[in-house]
């Protein structure tokens, strides 16, 4: 009788373990998403929104947003600490893959091949704003101003960031590269406010970071660094530099897994991000509040973007880096 009790107890424990294992297998898998830029910046804010929405669209995956400022240094650490199939993601963009890789490759202990591309979180169409007292409101006004002035001061985020190269490519292609004075700031928001403070004549920034100043009438938003005019939001109708034949690129935020991560897992993550970005609430918030573009991209699109920006960097690096 005692032997039967022991057998029954053993069977019960075995069954319980099986049930627990089954429950464990159905638990959500958490993926930490590292943003290597400012916690209050555009990328970090959008990442947090995506993390909040991830529970709505997946029973298997949960995104956990984290911001660790440091740019290349943060990504270096991420690469060193993660292998294929590590449950971690990281953001990179043209700033690292197209600019730092050319101007200061020693800062990077990684290349594009160290990542498995998941999705483009958003695209930002940067704008050029001008001190309202200059009365420069359109690209035509800007072309006239450039001819008649001896110095063009432009506030940008960082000495060699995306904003600096957009400014250099615009004024350089106008034949005014020798007049350009780039003034770097510690953040995109600071650069955007420099015009209103009288510290600079122009600034390149995200649309959201210049909105309040523009609404107060302190600056005019002259043009957008895109193929055509802005289509929605408070700056709808602002001319795209591409319409006038000037170079441009959008600011992108690529979500990356570690190279070698199982293809089915990368696909699952991509599908989750695509569902989040297709959500009407998220789309409206991105376009109307953050003033960003929902812009899913293929692997080929990403590689073309990286090469396009590299071409611009190589052409105008002497203006930016001296």
The DSSP code for 107 is: G
Could you tell me which residues come within 8 angstroms of residue 140 by beta carbon, excluding any fewer than 6 positions away?
Answer: none
Same domain, 64 and 152: no
Instruction: Classify residue 263 by burial, with Cβ atoms within 10 Å: 0-12, 13-18, 19+.
Output: exposed
Same domain, 188 and 272: no
The separation between CA 308 and the C-alpha centre of its own chain, rounded to angstroms, equals 16
φ and ψ at residue 122, rounded to 5 degrees: -170, 170
Distance CA 76, CA 114 (A): 11
Sequence-ordered strand ranges (E) for the chain:
29-35, 61-67, 88-92, 115-124, 127-131, 152-157, 180-185, 202-205, 219-224, 251-258
Domain boundary among 227, 249, 271: 249
Which pLDDT does position 26 carry in this prediction? Answer: 55
The total of structural domains in the chain comes to: 2
Which pLDDT does position 189 carry in this prediction? Answer: 86
Distance CA 43, CA 35 (A): 7
4 within some domain: no
98 within some domain: yes
Distance CA 60, CA 58 (A): 5
Domain boundary among 249, 277, 294: 249
Ramachandran class of 54: left when φ > 0, alpha when ψ lies in -120 to 50, beta otherwise? alpha
147 within some domain: yes
Same domain, 201 and 61: no
Same domain, 132 and 73: no
189 within some domain: yes
Same domain, 119 and 147: no
CATH of the domain at 139: 3.40.190.10
Same domain, 66 and 119: yes
pTM beyond 0.85: the answer is yes
89 within some domain: yes
Same domain, 136 and 225: yes
Distance CA 299, CA 39 (A): 27
23 within some domain: no
Per the structure, the complete domain to which residue 222 belongs is given by 127-249
Answer yes or no: are the C-beta atoms of 227 and 309 closer than 8 Å. no
Same domain, 173 and 239: yes
Same domain, 243 and 273: no
Give the three-state DSSP class for 294. Answer: coil
Buried b (16+ CB within 10 A) or exposed e, 219-256: bbbbbbbbeeebeebebeebbbbbeeebbbbbbbbbbb
Q: What is the pLDDT along the chain (322 residues), one digit of tens a residue?
A: 444 444 343 434 344 444 444 444 457 899 999 999 999 999 999 999 999 999 999 999 999 999 999 999 999 999 999 999 999 999 999 999 999 999 999 999 999 999 999 999 999 999 999 999 999 999 999 999 999 999 999 999 999 999 999 999 999 999 999 999 999 998 888 999 999 899 999 999 999 999 999 999 999 999 999 999 999 899 999 999 999 999 999 999 999 999 999 999 999 999 999 999 999 999 999 999 999 999 999 999 999 999 999 999 999 999 999 8
Same domain, 255 and 311: yes
Same domain, 147 and 46: no
Could you tell me which residues come within 8 angstroms of residue 205 by beta carbon, excluding any fewer than 6 positions away?
Answer: 126, 127, 129, 157, 163, 188, 189, 191, 192
164 within some domain: yes
CB count within 10 Å of CB 124 equals 27
12 within some domain: no
CATH of the domain at 106: 3.40.190.150
Same domain, 166 and 259: no
Domain boundary among 210, 232, 249: 249
């Amino acid at each position: 009788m005692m032997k039967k009790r022991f057998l029954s107890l053993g069977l019960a424990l075995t069954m319980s373990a099986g049930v627990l294992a089954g429950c464990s297998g159905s638990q959500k898998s958490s993926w930490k998403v590292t943003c290597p830029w400012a916690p209050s910046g555009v990328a970090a804010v959008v990442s947090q929104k995506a993390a909040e929405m991830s529970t709505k669209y997946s029973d298997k995956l949960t995104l956990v947003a984290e911001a660790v400022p440091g740019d290349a240094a943060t990504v270096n650490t991420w690469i060193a600490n993660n292998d294929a199939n590590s449950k971690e993601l990281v953001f990179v963009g043209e700033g690292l893959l197209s600019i730092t890789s050319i101007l200061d490759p020693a800062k990077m202990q990684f290349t594009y091949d160290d990542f498995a591309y998941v999705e483009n979180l958003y695209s930002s169409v940067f704008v050029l704003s001008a001190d309202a007292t200059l009365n420069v409101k359109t690209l035509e006004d800007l072309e006239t101003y450039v001819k008649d002035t001896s110095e063009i001061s432009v506030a940008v985020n960082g000495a060699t960031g995306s904003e600096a190269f957009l400014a250099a490519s615009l004024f350089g292609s106008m034949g005014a590269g020798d007049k350009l004075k780039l003034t770097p700031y510690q953040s995109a928001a600071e650069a955007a406010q420099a015009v209103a403070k009288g510290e600079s004549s122009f600034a390149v920034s995200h649309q959201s970071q210049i909105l309040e100043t523009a609404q107060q009438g302190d600056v005019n938003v002259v043009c957008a660094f895109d193929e055509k005019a802005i289509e929605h939001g408070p700056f709808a109708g602002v001319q795209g530099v591409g319409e006038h034949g000037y170079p441009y690129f959008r600011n992108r935020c690529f979500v990356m897994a570690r190279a070698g991560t199982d293809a089915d897992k990368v696909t699952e993550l991509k599908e989750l991000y695509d569902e989040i970005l297709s959500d009407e609430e998220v789309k409206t918030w991105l376009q109307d509040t953050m003033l960003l573009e929902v812009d899913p991209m293929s692997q080929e699109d990403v590689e073309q973007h990286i090469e396009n920006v590299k071409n611009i960097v190589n052409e105008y690096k002497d203006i930016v880096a001296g």
